[in-house]
Amino acid sequence: MSRHTRPLRLPACLFALGGALLLSACAGDGGGPGSTPRPQPHPQPRPHVVPPVRVTPPPAPRVLSAPGLEGVIGAGTEDLIRQFGVPRLDVTEGDARKLQFGGSACVLDIYLYPPQAGAAPRATYVEARRATDAREVDRAACVAALRRG
């Protein structure tokens, strides 16, 4: 050994820099190695709220008005059966009803709807077509032909 061994002195700024590095390694954001992550709270699901359904009565049906359809428009099921016989088609959908009457001259579809909620359905609309090719024909002429039988 030498006679005058002097201890190695580090400049004060290097010592301060090393200390700062050591401290920054300890003061992480919780995501570094060796740290325990904090559990994140889970958001609670919000209940699904269904708005109440407003029930409104259906609007009054539009009623076809045409000459030659007197006794058909506004008639109930029993009246129509008396006029044209047993329908060859009787379809109910909701509160509506369709009666179909046919003969050699034409096919007549009569649509019945209740005039107000809870009332018996009444004929409000009529369609007529030829039996042979389904081309539209005059409604009143078809009604007259089916009444004659």
The SS3 call for residue 82 is helix
Q: What's the Cα-to-Cα distance from 83 to each of 70, 87, 101, 137, rounded to whole Å?
A: 12, 11, 10, 20
The answer to whether the beta carbons of residues 101 and 87 sit under 8 Å apart is: yes
3-class secondary-structure state, position 145? helix
What pTM was estimated for this model as a whole? 0.59
| pLDDT number for residue 62 | 73
Residue-level pLDDT, tens digit, the chain, 149 residues = 445 555 555 555 445 555 555 555 555 555 555 556 677 777 777 777 888 877 666 666 677 778 889 999 999 999 999 999 999 999 999 889 999 999 999 999 999 999 888 899 999 999 999 999 999 999 999 999 999 87
